[in-house]
Amino acid sequence: MSVESVAATGGSSLYSTAPTRAPKQTMDGSMFMSLLVTQLQNQDPSSPMDTNAMIGQTTQLAMMEKLTTLASTNQENFSLQMRIAAAALVGKQVTYDDKDGVSVTGVAGSVSYAGSVPQITIDGKTVALDAVSGVTTGPDTAAGTPASGSV
């Protein structure tokens, strides 16, 4: 008895390409809840899960979600603090180390928030905020004379 092969008649198939799935690399609330549900589905009916253990696991889930929220909030706060610090440098005399390690001093003219670290323009050169090593008052007030516009 011979068996004939079965081939698709059309050139394209619903499953012509294998679906790809990228593995999830982070532990989040949905992954934790999925593990808990799987554990409950596969438990021994004659020996169900201890309620104290289940409460402990749901407490751990709530704590993990709160810690994730707290970490996100801290990141946002740090970003905001960097922006405030960079804006406060405008008009001040700042010192930074250039690419050769030489200390350079100049007046901060403007700030850009385009990247993850604010960029300060100092005498026409763009410098990252974390490269600034010192700050003094502007050149008008350094000699003890009031800056223009003040009373």
Question: Mind listing the pLDDT tens digit for each residue in 49-99?
Answer: 778 887 888 888 888 889 989 999 999 999 999 999 999 999 999 999 888
Answer yes or no: is 71 within a domain.
yes
124 within some domain: yes
Residue 108 CB: number of other CB atoms within 10 A? 23
Q: SS3 for 76? A: helix
> Looking at 27-31, 53-57, 133-137, which range is the least confident one?
27-31
| pTM, rounded to two decimals | 0.55
Angle between helices 51-88 and 29-41 (to 10 degrees): 170
Residue 127 placed within a domain: yes
CATH of residue 81: 2.30.30.30
Range of the domain at 87: 31-36+52-137
d(CA 135, CA 115): 22
Task: Say how many domains are in the chain.
Answer: 1
Give the CA dihedral 83, 127, 110, 94, nearest 10 degrees. 90
| Beta-ladder partners of 143 | none
The CA distance from 34 to 39, in Å, is 9
Asked if residue 144 belongs to a domain, the reply is: no
In a domain, 21, yes or no: no
